[in-house]
Structure 1
Amino acid sequence: MAIDAPAPPNATQKPLAPALSASTGVEATVAGETRVIFGGCNYLGLAHHPRVIEALREAAGIYGISTGASRTTTGNTLAHEQLEERLARFFSAARPGHTVACTIDGLTANMAAFEALAERRTEAVIDERAHRSLVVAARAAGLQVNLYRHLDVGHAVELAERDPAGTVIATDTVFASTGHIADLASLVRSAPNDVGFLFDECHGVGVIGDGGRGVAIALGVTDDRVVITSTLAKAIGAHGGFVLATSDCIRRIRSTATAFVGTTPVSPALAAAATEAIDIIDQEPDRVRRLQDRASRLTAGVALYADARVPAGFAWHTPIAAVAFAPDDAMTRVRMRLTERGLSVPLVSYPGGPAPSYFRLSVTSEHTAEQVDQAIACFAEEADDR
């Protein structure tokens, strides 16, 4: 039996966070106070890399800020085509022959992918804690959505077996709220041969696997049935989204998907910045290794009170941890400790976390080991006092 979809979040539940007046990626200034931030998704620090910023400036001088039109009319630029070619090369060793279509963000990447898949599929079986964009995109494409229990491969396969040829199994590879990692290899291995797959790698690309190629490739999942979607706004440090798939799937996206055909693309300046960022990932492999070191440190430091879930034997670490203490005054004490030490960790209420309200910690390659240890200590002290 499928799980009922959760109601859309109430618009009053998530007020805007205080506005930043400056940011370096590791530090941010709010209301005149500068603190070390353990939040967000600039995992490799590339949003502030001088080469990325210079690439953006140079392309803005050539193309302006916006194309003002769809890529199917007058809005296509060399910057967009070069980005798609660079992304295809980035994944080509593991997924030869697969090509890329870029979109304006991660949501529209999922929308474009589901629009293409809906030509042959009628149902989407989605992890109950997956990013809401997967459910929204599947429904927008006209697919019937059924949710499976979080990380439960058997339940996903059970639902897919009702109509394998008409079904797409979709999931996050790394779950944004908790850092849980889906066992993609078991999903693909266990599902009927004619099931399709859509894996959202927004928190996997640039983070997991050799050279940051993502969870699917790290787990050896390169099946042509698998469509990968991701963002350019997290580890890559720019803005936009993309779909990586067979040339036939990408052709359908470019021909018919409203999320591609009917939108003005991401700024060509940001496309050029993303291309430069991908070059840096390849040219500076220590960034991914350094991120993994900080992620490993975080995982070990909060292991007693964070619910980490990864496939058996998986060697990579997620830079995300979700921590909650009860009662509420314990959370207040942790926040006070963080503030006293010049640190900030977002207290969030995203769906899929361990409690209605919890700390979502994230580290980057640019945090020092000492900074990570300082944050861990604030949580350890609360645990020791209990």
Structure 2
Amino acid sequence: MSNSFKALTLVNQAITRLEEGLLKRSLRINEKACDVDAVVGDRALKTFCSNDYLGLANHPALVTALSDGAQKYGVGSGASHLISGHSRAHELLENQLARFQSAHIPNARALFFSTGYMANLTAITGLIGLANKGEAHIYSAALNHASLIDGVRLASSQHQALVTIFDHLDLASLEKDLSKDTSSLKLIVIDGVFSMDGDLAPLNSLLQLANQYDALLMVDDAHGFGVLGEKGHGILEYLDLHSERLIYIGTLGKAAGVSGAFICAADSFIEWLIQKGRPYIYTTATSPAIAHAVSKSLDLIEGIEGKTRRKHLDELIKLWNEEMVFSCWQKASSSSAIQPVIIGSNAHALQAAKLLDAAGYWIPAIRPPTVPEGKARLRITFSANHTVDDVKELIQTLQKIESSMLVEGVSL
């Protein structure tokens, strides 16, 4: 029998091409709970790459809540939500999530999902399904997250929807396209905080366009929920937005420190997604113990502790923006917890990440296709569990590494 067959040959060749292009990724095993300190192998590393922005992932109150939830509701849900998997824990969580956005979305209702990816697929394909085939038009920001992109592609394929990609920093062309659009359903899709650049979407202007040209505005606030706003309710609170046209997606595995995601919209839209959102209908419901733990996380986010953690996080971001100065590398214009350092080539970004690892830091190099060609970077993220000294030491280390690479002739 042959030791090889065509598919195996093809996959090995494809992996080799990734290696040659410095695009192959690898898993690293963290021996500790998620926090700013990790252990990989036998080495202690300071992490500046997690999305645990408020430092809640290993919070004792959430650990206890997860245990309590398992004791009360068991471990599994047993079925999809529409069969028998929708527990009291899910219902209470969804009511709590809806209340978070009720000041911004009239008649708000929420739907809980196991992942943000599934929430985005459900929202986009389900909403586009409101129109007859070929009568919907999706406007998607160029730098949107992969889950939004895949949702748009799936909706386009399933419903023959038109798709226009727009630059969120130049809305003139978007307005021009909207002004000529006669589609029965128009959906603008955008990240609230862009995951690789850290900048905020111009949602005030986009909502004005949505109102003017009768479109829905869908916002994936994965990196804003829990962090932005006085109460941590997210970008709608932060920008004081109000409209029934808003479709809000929040993630619960980042600042909330647990897992899952949700869609929040006017009641009628949520009811439609329950009836026609295929990823929701045909997926086993998330463990009710998880939902119970998320509810406790929401209490922390909205309370005094959440406010204290957001204040400290803002202080760290301000310190970085004031004191981190590069000779050649580029900082992005970001006021969020995401602070990318754009280096350029894959090889140079990998070298910088390797030198950081040797210095005791876990900050991976981010390369295409996650970011555009020639824009490989270090994606630095801050947590409320970092200290001022942590950030100052990181700044000093990065400056030394950049200087050493420039001496060796490495530059953009």
Root mean square deviation of aligned Cα? 2.3
The answer (yes or no) to whether the contact 1:298–1:319 under 8 Å persists in 2 is no
Q: How far 1:380 sits from its partner (Å)?
A: 2.5
Q: How far 1:294 sits from its partner (Å)?
A: 1.6
SS at match of 1:51: helix
Distance 1:333 1:16 in 2: 15
Q: Which moved more, 1:124-133 or 1:284-293?
A: 284-293
Amino acid at match of 1:324: I
The 5 A counterparts of 1:39-50 are 39-50=49-60
The answer (yes or no) to whether the contact 1:209–1:215 under 8 Å persists in 2 is yes
The answer (yes or no) to whether the contact 2:168–2:202 under 8 Å persists in 1 is no
The 5 A counterparts of 1:323-334 are 323-325=341-343, 331=349, 334=352
Which residue in the other structure is 2:73 paired with?
Answer: 63
Which residue in the other structure is 1:299 paired with?
Answer: 321
Which residue in the other structure is 1:357 paired with?
Answer: 376
Distance 2:288 2:99 in 1: 19
Distance 1:326 1:108 in 2: 32
The answer (yes or no) to whether the contact 1:178–1:307 under 8 Å persists in 2 is no
Q: Which moved more, 1:265-274 or 1:137-146?
A: 137-146
Which residue in the other structure is 1:175 paired with?
Answer: 194
Amino acid at match of 1:168: L
TM superposition score normalised by structure 1:
0.89
| Mapped pair 1:152 → 2:170 | yes
CA deviation digits over 1:19-69, x for unaligned, max 9?
212234111111111111000201111110111111111111222222121
Which residue in the other structure is 1:366 paired with?
Answer: 385
Which residue in the other structure is 2:9 paired with?
Answer: none
| Mapped pair 1:99 → 2:109 | yes
SS at match of 1:202: coil
Q: How far 1:290 sits from its partner (Å)?
A: 1.4
| Mapped pair 1:194 → 2:214 | yes
Distance 1:373 1:57 in 2: 37
Which residue in the other structure is 2:291 paired with?
Answer: 271
Q: How far 1:344 sits from its partner (Å)?
A: 1.9
Distance 1:374 1:89 in 2: 40
Q: Which moved more, 1:220-229 or 1:190-199?
A: 190-199
| Mapped pair 1:126 → 2:140 | yes
> How high is the sequence identity, in percent, across the aligned residues?
27
Distance 1:329 1:125 in 2: 34
Distance 2:243 2:333 in 1: 24
Distance 2:101 2:219 in 1: 15
SS at match of 2:380: strand
SS at match of 2:176: helix
Q: How far 1:226 sits from its partner (Å)?
A: 1.2
SS at match of 2:164: strand
The 5 A counterparts of 1:1-386 are 12=18, 13-118=23-128, 119-120=130-131, 122-141=136-155, 142=159, 143-163=161-181, 165-191=184-210, 192-283=212-303, 284=305, 285-302=307-324, 305-309=329-333, 317-325=335-343, 331=349, 334-335=352-353, 337-350=355-368, 351-352=370-371, 355-383=374-402, 386=406
CA gap of 1:14–1:333, structure 2 versus 1, over 3 A, is closer
Q: How far 1:341 sits from its partner (Å)?
A: 3.8
The answer (yes or no) to whether the contact 2:353–2:364 under 8 Å persists in 1 is no
The answer (yes or no) to whether the contact 1:337–1:378 under 8 Å persists in 2 is no
Gaps of 5+ in 2: 1-13, 407-412
The answer (yes or no) to whether the contact 2:226–2:234 under 8 Å persists in 1 is yes
Number of residue pairs matched by the alignment: 371
The answer (yes or no) to whether the contact 1:179–1:321 under 8 Å persists in 2 is yes
CA gap of 1:384–1:267, structure 2 versus 1, over 3 A, is same
Which residue in the other structure is 1:314 paired with?
Answer: none
SS at match of 1:199: strand
The answer (yes or no) to whether the contact 1:323–1:358 under 8 Å persists in 2 is yes
User: Which structure 1 residue ranges, 4+ long, deviate > 6 Å from structure 2?
Assistant: none
SS at match of 1:163: coil
CA deviation digits over 1:292-336, x for unaligned, max 9?
2222223334465444346xxxxxx20111113357776466445
Amino acid at match of 1:281: I
The answer (yes or no) to whether the contact 2:179–2:213 under 8 Å persists in 1 is no
Q: How far 1:116 sits from its partner (Å)?
A: 3.2
